Structure 1
């Protein structure tokens, strides 16, 4: 009886043999009907020879020769217990890659290896290669320190790995996962950045240290000297990030790191997401405080003597509100959110409970340095006073942990939680902008914006920035910098003089030498003075579109700027579509861009200018118009520079809803001499008022005529108001620190409003605040105000910010 061969040996019979090799074999040549098998179009499963010639498949005489696809080597699956795999997994994940495996992840890996590696998982070293590839891919995908089997990331990695395995081994072919391929950047880039080589295979110039440093993000894939001419332009390293496309992270208190939110966001989420917004804000500020020296207990810290008026630095301790029960008359420091109770009284709330707050005797530290409104997370130092009827019980009514605690908290001092510098958050040390940066602690391996983490590509991006921006600026200081960002404030297109002012501003930059024009122009709303689409018979959407058509006609007069710069448009409250139902009132944040229906002509103007110059925005060689959300972000050189764009009249809202505090009794001269320091919670004497004055082009010389002295005093008051606004926003680390009734927020998109880590620059367009350019804790905050200066006819105002060289912005004015 003729025996049937097994499937494992069948591929060897299907390979065509030459006559010379066939003569050497001991077995006779195959029969004629088997020699014609390569022309069969049946699936590979039917390639097994039949036991009878009657079942042979005839070959089509006209079909060309077609070699069969090689079959994958079969592996006999086994049941691999997780405890058997644990030693090898511990050695690969924990010892080598500093990752922690959960029991569910170990079960998933054991099932996968037993199914696809079979009995050779240990003797042939198949399991070790699989574990190594999974660990490396997990780190490149920014999965976190703990590998969880229930996460979709691990399942997606195993699913991808399953399609690239044959015979228990990982294929190193085109579809395989080699060491370089596992470092690919797995994100979708827009057309403008398609030529920046983001996501390409890392070049051979990558050192082992740089390769290991790509934890949290894949290799940036850039040569030390990019050969593409388009990459020699600083604008090619610019990316505009929409708030609705920004990665969402939440802080895990147990694991002490940020975890990526994989659930899809929604504009109508469940009510539980509202409490998650507060919980995330509180946890981020709480862990930030614990990293501050003032909240760390140390003998060195307590013995350190400060050079300011305070004698020694004291170590503070935060008390949860629930721990106040039964501690009548004791002094504590609370960290919580200011809220308004249903009775109308002020209270403070944290994750454990809430308590009524009495701020009648409280003063701010430093005095008059920040705003305090319900919705902010603040530090309050005072005494807990328990009610007489609740003494011995500790509770009032049906309140308990998680509710309102009986009694009240008498606050004597209130202050903002001090913010943290960007370099400290990302773990970057060394000179600012130098090449000797090192990676330390912090969250440098977290990719907060989806452009690469600090640990993955920060040092390489700094070297490219040094070559493209810093070296040309040092070689020719008189030449305008290519890294300039021109920020035009509120642009009311329904006012004819606005377009005249914009035309004058653009004409000043159109005369710059070739290659030295600004790389970005930022135009912010409100693009109409009133909510046009909500005013009924005023023209509605047709009139709204005509305003942008007029703007397109103005931009068409500057083809050089249209082909060499990126124009970013940020909407306001009066822009579509939200103004159609809000009527110009406060609308939820973040806000979507202006619809393409109204901006089509502006896009055609850019396309025509690029076509006339022989350029293409899709190929990264021409200019483009980007309509982003509010707030939006601009990333320059990956994680090197982050510029936040935000349009909101936050200053007026702070004045309307702020809590009135008691002021210290001091002479008028002393109060006038005091200055708000911009160095954090503790003022430093090394920050004179002239520092901010120089940034705003104000001459603080006292030898001036009396009228100019009065004007200087008024300008100094504006600077103090600007510093007060900047300190409030950056200390909160949140762009909407108000009650939901005052400033609503889309709960699922609230992570886009966080200012953590602190950005390198914040464009805060506020028409109710004076124009300024102030630096606080390394973050440069700018407010151009409105492009038309109120009370001054024929004067246009804007802000010019230089990236990389000095990192300074200045308020500029011109007459049109």
Structure 2
């Protein structure tokens, strides 16, 4: 034990760290069952994990070593059960900007009331603004020039605060302002930031790509005079590559799930992700279980995948074609039980696949305020008896597959954003790309007024898209689409029941989306 303790202390010193006595002793106890010739290798792994922790001192405590050792054990575990994690959306870490360290850090986990106070509503918009503002300031076009550079190095733009505009008594030319597009007075548009609000003149404005809705953040380029900001051009804030965001945040777990470090940096998971070429996610939305033709098509779907089971089937509501009033919960319970009976006929799927259910707007549960909890236990208890791998998740939902971050949101968000635009794109064919750009640039699933898409004030961070996930599934009742923006895939599987029984299949090893459907000849294409 003494020689091991000396080895621990010396190896920590070689990396510029000092292990406290109780921490070194604790690590020796963990190493005791392992072969002695492997001790140094495992100590090095623990040190590497310690360096990835958000530590503030070179003095390493027992608690730090415990976290690091736990992370090493998790990363080294290649059990298939750990490859796919379902993240509890109500336990998602909340990011906050630290002015002293000039970076986003994970805020301490504190209990939050579902119905917050007025201060929580103010904090909601302030935190959204901080994310967009810091990301914009880090962009090449807005980053402050380094001393010694010349104009030949490229033109830089400076962001002007609303407070500065309001305090000016003369005309200001070529100002660029980042703020929230609001309508404080009916019929008048305003731009609001953390210092104030100014009225906008959009009568002669060029709009860049995107869906410009109320309560979204925009960049306005124009001139200011007599309390009015005349917009020459309006665009969305620039996105930031997820790798750049994570590099500034450090190796902390910002997405949720098991472990304290970001899964992107776990080499073993990267390797498994690339080697597992057969992994796939089947995405379906509007699966109406009270329609006989739908259940027949599902039976065909399961039969087609019986011999090569997907990693998961992701079913998004609504799960009934119409509202059944007081009998809604009972009808859905019976429909899910029937679905369970169908799935039970395919034992390979039950053994190897997960069945994930995301509630829709008309499914039983509390009102459509987000984040929304999963379907009630009363509704799901029967199907769980026959399909143990059925998982009923929140809306929105987060999944971690190896190193890939997946966000699922079941809401008619595209239609709502189009209805609340102040400027509509000239071509409806371009709506998916405009929508994807808006969602990613805002770093949020719901860039809309709270009366259009209500959000619990204290849980607004659960709808955050910062850093940008690898896959965003927005299950909307509109037309299916697949597009990419900022190295992220944004996909809408479309309505399974109201179209030609089409669905999407995601292949994580190649990051490809395949269009599929079940035709009348009962062959999945």
- Range of TM-score over shorter length: 0.7 to 0.9
For the pair 1:778 / 2:487, whether they are aligned, the reply is yes
For the pair 1:651 / 2:452, whether they are aligned, the reply is no
Equivalent residue, structure 2, for 1:491: 287
Equivalent of 2:182, from 317, 339, 364?
A: 339
CA distance in 2, matches of 1:486, 1:785: 13
Kindly name which structure, 1 or 2, has the bigger radius of gyration based on alpha carbons.
Answer: 1
Equivalent residue, structure 2, for 1:632: 397
What secondary structure, in the 3-state scheme, does the structure 2 residue paired with 1:633 have? strand
1:775 CA drift (Å): 1.9
1:368-427 Cα shifts (integer Å, max 9, x gaps): x210111101111111121xxxxxxxxxxxxxxxxxxxx211111111111111111112
1:633 CA drift (Å): 0.4
Equivalent of 1:378, from 218, 228, 238?
A: 218
CA distance in 1, matches of 2:193, 2:29: 47
Provide closer, same or farther for how the CA distance between residues 211 and 606 of structure 1 changes in structure 2, counting only shifts above 3 A.
same
CA distance in 1, matches of 2:315, 2:105: 33
For the pair 1:505 / 2:301, whether they are aligned, the reply is yes
1:286-306 Cα shifts (integer Å, max 9, x gaps): 1111111111233769535xx
CA distance in 1, matches of 2:253, 2:184: 38
Equivalent residue, structure 1, for 2:465: 755
Equivalent residue, structure 1, for 2:333: 545
1:322 CA drift (Å): 0.4
> Over the residues paired in the alignment, what is the CA RMSD in angstroms?
2.9
Equivalent residue, structure 2, for 1:799: 504
Equivalent of 2:344, from 556, 560, 566?
A: 556
Equivalent residue, structure 2, for 1:221: 72
CA distance in 2, matches of 1:796, 1:343: 43
Give unmatched runs, 5+ long, in structure 1. Answer: 1-91, 98-128, 134-168, 183-200, 305-312, 387-406, 428-440, 474-480, 608-623, 664-670, 673-716
CA distance in 1, matches of 2:392, 2:480: 24
Equivalent residue, structure 1, for 2:437: 727
CA distance in 2, matches of 1:505, 1:361: 53
For the pair 1:361 / 2:361, whether they are aligned, the reply is no
1:348 CA drift (Å): 0.9
Contact 2:52-2:251 within 8 A present in 1 as well: no
Provide closer, same or farther for how the CA distance between residues 171 and 573 of structure 1 changes in structure 2, counting only shifts above 3 A.
closer
Higher strand share: 2
Provide closer, same or farther for how the CA distance between residues 265 and 326 of structure 1 changes in structure 2, counting only shifts above 3 A.
same
- Greater RCO (CA < 8 Å, at least 6 residues apart): 2
Provide closer, same or farther for how the CA distance between residues 540 and 341 of structure 1 changes in structure 2, counting only shifts above 3 A.
same
Contact 1:771-1:811 within 8 A present in 2 as well: no
Provide closer, same or farther for how the CA distance between residues 316 and 531 of structure 1 changes in structure 2, counting only shifts above 3 A.
farther
Equivalent residue, structure 2, for 1:451: 258
Equivalent residue, structure 1, for 2:9: none
Contact 2:285-2:318 within 8 A present in 1 as well: no
Equivalent residue, structure 2, for 1:596: 377
| Aligned positions of 1:215-254 closer than 5 A | 215-216=53-54, 218-219=68-69, 220-222=71-73, 231=78, 233=80, 235-254=81-100
1:232 CA drift (Å): 5.1
CA distance in 1, matches of 2:46, 2:181: 50
Q: Which shows bigger deviation, 213-222 or 375-384?
A: 213-222
Equivalent residue, structure 1, for 2:246: 426
1:502 CA drift (Å): 1.7
Equivalent residue, structure 1, for 2:268: 463
Equivalent residue, structure 1, for 2:133: 286
1:451 CA drift (Å): 3.2
Give unmatched runs, 5+ long, in structure 2. Answer: 1-11, 32-38, 55-66
Provide closer, same or farther for how the CA distance between residues 469 and 739 of structure 1 changes in structure 2, counting only shifts above 3 A.
closer
For the pair 1:267 / 2:114, whether they are aligned, the reply is yes
Contact 1:247-1:450 within 8 A present in 2 as well: no
Provide closer, same or farther for how the CA distance between residues 314 and 787 of structure 1 changes in structure 2, counting only shifts above 3 A.
same
Contact 1:787-1:796 within 8 A present in 2 as well: yes
What secondary structure, in the 3-state scheme, does the structure 1 residue paired with 2:267 have? helix
CA distance in 1, matches of 2:41, 2:330: 52
